[in-house]
Structure 1
Amino acid sequence: MTATLERPVADSRQAPGTAAEGPARPDYAHWAVSAAAGAGVLAASTSLNGVIEPWTWFGPVFNTVLPVMIAMSLARTLRLPGLVTLLAGLLALGGCLTSRFVPDQSILGVIPGPGTGVQLQILLNHAEDTVTSQAAPVLPGAGIFLVTCAAIGLIAIAVDTLATTLRMPAVSGIGLLALMVVPAVVKPLGVGMVPFLLTVAAYLLLLGCAQWREGLLAASADTGSTGYLGRGLAVGAAAVAVTVLLPLAIPGFNSGAFPQGARLNVWGSSSGLNPAVTLGNDLRNPAGFGRVTYATNSPEPVYLRAVTLEDFAGQRWEPDQRRDEREPGLQGMGSESVRSAGEFGATAFTRINTDSYTSPWLLAPYAPVSVASLNGRWTWDPKNLSILSYDGGTSVRQEYEVISTLPDLTEERLSAIRPAPKGAVAPVFTELPEDTPGIVLETTEEVTGRLRNPYDQAIAIQNFLRSRDFTYSVDAPVEGGYDGSSMGVMARFLETRAGYCVHYAGTMAVMARAAGIPSRVAVGYTPGSTTGDLEAGPDGMELREFAVDSRNAHAWPELYFNGVGWVRFEPTPSRGVVPDYAQTITSPFNVRVDDYDNLNPGAADVPQGTAADPEATAAAAADPAAAQSRAAAAGTAVAAGLLLALLPLLIRSARTASRRRRVLSGGGPGAAAAAWVQTTEAAGDYGHPALPTDTPRAFSQRLRADAGLHGPAAVSLERLQRAFEREEYAGPEAAPAAGAGVALLAAPAASWDDVTAVTAALRERSSLPARLRARFFPRSLLRPTR
C-alpha cells in the first residue's frame, strides 16, 4: 500500500502541501475531483435504503453533502491551506445540521445557540432508541436522520480531503467502503448489487477525474503522467476482492458474502415492539416497521396483541414477564372458561406472517387457545395470555396459526354485569400506587361518580376521553418527559388534554381502577388494511388477508367484567376501531378499519373536527377563505390527475409529430424507417405486435391476415414495407437486378398518407376498449419498436 501511494516529486513540480517555485497555474480541476468525490459518497449512501426506510433519508443526506463539497472547493479556489479547507468543510457540515435539526435553537439559522445541546441530546436519545429497539428497516425519524447526515457528512469530508487536498484518490475509496459496512452487516440481503455497482462506477469516476487533474498539473510542471488511474484500479480491484472474500471466513456471515448476503446481527436478536423501554418511544419506533400480514376468517379484522402492562407504579410501565409462573406448550392455552368458550362458542382461525417483525413477544389475536406451526420454544402467561420466547428466540420470519375465541359481547349483556367480587382477578390488575395524582381521582369521580354499573362507568370514561375536549397529538407531549408513561404523565395528559394512544389507553385504565374496575393496557397493532387477497384455510375455509406495519402500532385498555373476562375498549379518538358493544350515540367519532396510529414525532396532529363533527363542518363552511383554499386544492389535484392520465397520449402524439415531420421533409434518409416504425407501433397498440423474429415482409403478411386489411389499406402497408426494405437493405449505389430486386429498387417512396391509411384501418377493425387503450395507454411507450 505504501509503495502505491508514493509519488516522485520533481524540483519543477509542486508537492502536496508545499509552495511552488514561481507563479503557479490556477488549479480549477479540483472542482471536478470534489464533484466526483461527492457523487461517490452519494452512490455509496444508496446502500442505506433498507437500513432506513424508505427513501426519505436521501434528501437530507444530499442537502448535507452538497454544501460541504461546495465549501471545501471554494476554499481551494481561494488557495487556502489544506487545514483551513478541512475546517471549512466541518463548519459547513455543522451549519447544515444546525439549520435542519435545531433551527429554533440556532443563531441566524446556522450557528448553534442556547438550547442546542439539550435538543441534540433528545435527538441522539431517539436515535439510540431506534438502534437498540428496531430491526432493519428502521423508522425515518429525526434522530436517526441526524446521525446519518452527520456520519455521511464526515465521510464526505474525509473522502474529499484524501482525493483532492492530499491527492490520494485511491485511498479515498476506504471512506466509500466504510459507508457500506453498516448495510452489509445489517440488511438481510446485504448491500445489494445495484448500490454496489453504482459505488464502483463512482469510484472509477473519482479516479479518472483525479488522473485528469494530475495530468494538468504535470503538464504545467513538464513532468510525465503520474499513473493514478492504473494504480487506483489495482487498489480498487484488491479492495473489492477482499470485501467479497473476507466475510466468508468471519463467523456470523451465514447467508452469502458481501455485498449480497452478509447477515451478522450486531444488534442482538431481541428487538421489536418492546414495551420494556419507555412506552411512548417504543410505540413511536417499533422494530416491526416491516409489513406483517395476517389472514383470518374472523367476521371483523382483529387486533394483534403482543403484551399487556399491569403494574402502573414507577416512572415507566413495563411488562412483568413472570417467568416462574409461565406455562409451556401453546396447544392448550387459556383458563378452563376460555377453552370452553372456544369449544362451545365461536372461534377465529388466523394465519400470521411476521416477515421482519422481531420481538421475544409473539403477536396473536385475543384470546388465543391454540398456536401451531411456530418455531422455537415459547411459553404463555395464565394471567394475560401473552406469549413469550423461552430460550431467547424471536418472532422474525415466522408463519404460524392461531385459534382464538370470539366472545359474544353485546351492550345488553355487559350492562347486566355487576361489579367483580374481590379476588376475581390478581391484585396486580386493581392496585393503584400511593402517589396516584389527585387530578386522576377527581376526574374519575366527576365522570363516573353517580354511576354504579361497571359497563356504564367504562362507557362514560371512554366517551369522556373521546370528546371534543381532547386533541389527538404526537407533537405536544414530547417535551419535558411527557412522552412516556407513569402516573405523572397521565396527570399532565388530563391537564393539557392532548396526547396519543399511550396517554388515552393509560388514562382510561387508571380511571377504571379508580372506579373499581380491574384494568390493564394492551400493546400491539390495530387491524390494519385489507390487501384484497384471499387464502385457503383448513377444511376449505376462506381467509381474508390484512397488512399492518409500524403506523398501526397502538395501545388500548382492557377492562375485566365478571363472568365474561377481559374486554377491549377504544378511548383514542380517530384511532383504532371502536367495538360494536362500546359504541354509543354520544360518541362523535367515526371508526375505520385502516386506522394508522401515526406515532412519529413531527407528524401533523389529527384534528377533532371530522366529517362526523357537525360543528367543525359548519365552521369550515362559514369560512369562505378555507372553502376557496379547498376548492383550489381540489382543482389542482384534478388538473394534476388529468395531466397524468393524458401524459401517455401527449408523449405518443409528440413522437408521432416528430416522425411525420421527417417523412414529410422530402423523403431524406430515415424517412421510410420512420414511417415503418410508426406503422408497426400503431399495429402493436391495436393488439398486433411484431415478433422479435419477424422480417418486414413476414410482419406485413401476418398483419394483413390478422387485422383483415384489404383494399387501399393493404396497398399502403405493402408500399410502406417495400420502401423500408429498400432504404434498409439496398445500398445507395446498388444497381437494379432482375426479378424481385428490380421491383424492390423501383418501388415508389412511402408517404405519410400510407401511415394514416393503415392506422385508420386498424382503428376501424378494433373494439372500443382496444381503441381507448391504443390512444391513452399505448403499449409502444413501454415496448418501442427498434
Structure 2
Amino acid sequence: MRLPITAALATMAVATTLYQLFSGGAWLWTTLGAIVVIGAVGVIASRLAVPAWLSALAQLAGLWIYLTAAFAGDEAWAMVVPTSDSVIALARLVEDGFQDIQRYAPPVPANPSIMLFTALGIGLIAVAVDLLAVRLRRAALAGLPLLALFVVPAEIVTDQIPWPAFIVAALGFTALLLADGRERIGHWGRAVLVRRMRGTAARREGDSGQLRLSGKRIGVTAIGLAVLVPALVPTLEPNPLFTFGVGAGDGRGEGNTISIPNPIVGLKGQLTLPENTPVLTYANDDNVPRYLRLYALDTFNSDVWTMSNPSGTPENRVENGPLPAPPGLTPSPQDRQVKTDIQISDDLDVEFLPLPYPPLRVTAEGDWRADRTSLMVFSTRDSTRGLRYQVISGEPKATADRLKESGEPVPEVAARYLALPRGLPPQVRQEAERVTRNRKTPYEKAVRLQEWFTDDGNFSYSVNTKSGHSNSALLDFLTSSRVGYCEQFAAAMAVMARTLGVPARVAVGYTGGTPLGGGRWQVGTHDMHAWPELYFEGVGWLPFEPTPSGTAGQGTARAPDYSMPPPDEPGPATSSPGPAGGEDEETGTTSGTPERPRNPALLDREGTITPAAPEETTSVGGRIGTGALVLLLIVLIPAALRVFVRRRRLRVVGRPVADDPGPGGGSQPSVGVRTVRRSSPVSAAWAEFDDALYDYGLSRGASETPRALSRRLAAEHGFDPLAAAAIERIATATERMLFARSPGDQRPMGEDLRRVRRALAATASRGRRIRAVLLPPSMLRRLRLVGGRLLDGFDRLESLRVRKTPG
C-alpha cells in the first residue's frame, strides 16, 4: 500500500508550487480532496489486485463523483451521483474556466470555474502518475506528468519559484522513486532492518536498508546541489525556464538574477479586466501625456516576440548619475527634456520601471540599473510596488526633414533589429512592399505603414480575438481577418518594417492615461499597451502607433505628430515624440506650453542635451573568471577548515601535559583515545597525528596500540632518529593518558608534531602531498560523517513505529 500513497503525496508535493497562481488557499483544499479520492481508489485497487486499466477507470470515476459533489451537488442525485443536469453544470463551469484563465492574470480569484478547472487538471495528473508508477511500475516515467505540472508556474508567474517549494516538489518525486525501489526489492523477501552501530568499522547488510540509504543520500545531495549551486555561481547566460541573468553582481553576495515575465502573456488579461484598476499616477512639466515603456522586445523567432536579457553593471546604477547615451541619438540644440514624477500603486509589482523614452536620468530608491542598449531600468532586488521616483527624459526634435535625411543604421543596430526568422511567409514582405510603393525613404515607409493600419487598411480593433503573433497568426491578421488588438498591430508593423529595412522592435508598457486634474495623470490596467519603436540614425528610437484609437480602438492610444502623413500643402510636419501638441514655427516650443527648465548637469555650454559618456561593461571573460574564482573558493573550503583545526590543536598541544587532569586510571583499552577529553594536549596531539596519517595515505589498524603503531611506522619507513623519537613520545604520552593514573611530566609536543608531520610527508608522493594540502582526506572524511549523521536522522524517523502496549 506504500506506493499508491506515495504517488498521491508526490502529486500533492508538486502541486504546492502552484500557490503563486491563486489568490487565497481555497484551491489547495479543493485539489487536496481530488488527490485524496484518487489515492484512496488506488489503495483499494492495489489491495484487490485489479488490472491497471480498470484501476485508472475507477480513479476517473472517483474524480468525476468528487467534482460532482464539490461543484454540482445541487444538480446531482443525493448530491453525489452524477446526473445529466450535473454534467451540464460541470461543462458550463469548465467553459467558464477557459474564459477566466484568458481573462485574469495571476494571482487569479478563487471562483468556482477556476477551482474546478484546477482540481480537474491536477486530478488527471494524479491518475497519470498512479498509472505509470503503481500500475505499470514505471516510476521514472511518472516524472513527466509531474514535470508538466511543475512547469506551469515556472512559465506563467513573474517571480521565481521559491527554493522551499522546489525542495518540497523534488522530495516528493524522490520519495516516489525510493518507494518504487523498496517495493521491487521487497519482492525478494522481507527486509530486515539492522540498527547501525556507531564506532563499528565494518557493517554488512543483505537487505534493502543499505540500498535505501544510498538512494536517500543521492536524492538529498542532488536536491541540495540544485538549490545551492545556482545561488553560489554568478549567472552568465539566461535561464530559459525561470530567470534571466543580469551579468554581474555587486560583490556583496546578494542575488544577481532578475525574473522577466513574458510581457505579452498578461497584456490581454489586463485589457479585459472588468475594472480599470489604477496602477500609477504621474505629473510632468508640460502636462502632456506620454507613453511609459516597461519592456523592449527585440527578437522575433516565428512564434513570439521576446526580449534579450538585460545587462546592468554596478556602474549603471541610476544613483551614479546620468544613464547611458540613447542609442542613435545625435544631440541637437532643438532637443528638449521633460521632468516626470511617477507614483506607483501597490497593485503594480514588477522589476522594471515604467519610463518615458529615452530616459536620461532616474532618481529612485533602491538598486535600479539601466540596460545600455534598450535603456530599460530594472532591479534584481527591488520592486515597483508603492515606489515613487523621478525621471528626466529627452525629446529629440523629430521633424519630417530630419527623419527623411536619416542615414543607414550602424551595423550593430542593423544586425540585431533587422533580423527575421527563416520561415517568415513571403506574403508578409510582399504586402509591406505593396503598401509602401512610391515611398522612398524609411521614414516615409514607416508613416505609410501606420496610415495603412489605422486608416485605409480596413483593420478593426477587438480584444475578443485569438491572441498570438506567430508566422501563421501574422499572415492571417494581415491578409484575412484584419481584426486584433495592440499586440497584433504592434507585432505586425514591426515585422513589416524590418522587411523594408527599417530597424524595429516592440515596446510594452502603458499609454499616457487620463487626466485627474491638478496636472496629474492616472494610468490603469486598461491602459496597458504594445506599440512598435522604429530606429532612425541621428534621432534614435521613436514610437509609432498602428493601433486604432478612440471609440473604435484603445481609447488612450495617441499617434505622435511626426508619424502622421504630411499635409498636402508644403511645410514640414514637426513634433516631439509626445502624443499631443504641435510646435510653433518661430519659437520651436509647444503651443500654449512654456519652455521647460533644463537640468544643467545634462547640458553643454550651448544648452544641448549631452548624453552620458559610455561606461565599460563587464566582459564575458571577467564574468567567467568571477565564477571560476567562486568555485575555487568553494573547493578550498576543506583545506581552510583543515588549517583552522590544525592551528587550534597546536594551541592546545602547547600547554604542559602535567597541567592537564587525566580521566583517572582503568580506562578500557578497546575504547581507544576517544575517552580522553578533546581539550587535553595529549588527545589533541594524537588526533592531529591520526589525521596526518590519513592525509598521507598511511594505514592504522583498528586493534593496533599507539606504541605498536609508532614502532611499525619507524621500521617500515626508516624515519630518522629524531622523528622516530618524536612519534614514540606522542605514543607513550597517549598510552599513559589512557592507562596510567597520572600522565606524568611531559614537555609540550608542538615541535614533535611538526617533526612527525614532515617525516610522514616525506613518505608520500608529490601528488599525495598536494592533495593533503588542497583537499585533505581527513577533513573530507569529517564532512562525510556529518552528512551521514544528518541522513541517520531520516533513517530514525522512518524506523519510528507505533507500538501497542498490553492491557
- Using CA pairs below 8 Å that are at least 6 residues apart, which structure has the higher relative contact order? 2
Q: TM-score range, shorter-chain basis?
A: 0.3 to 0.5
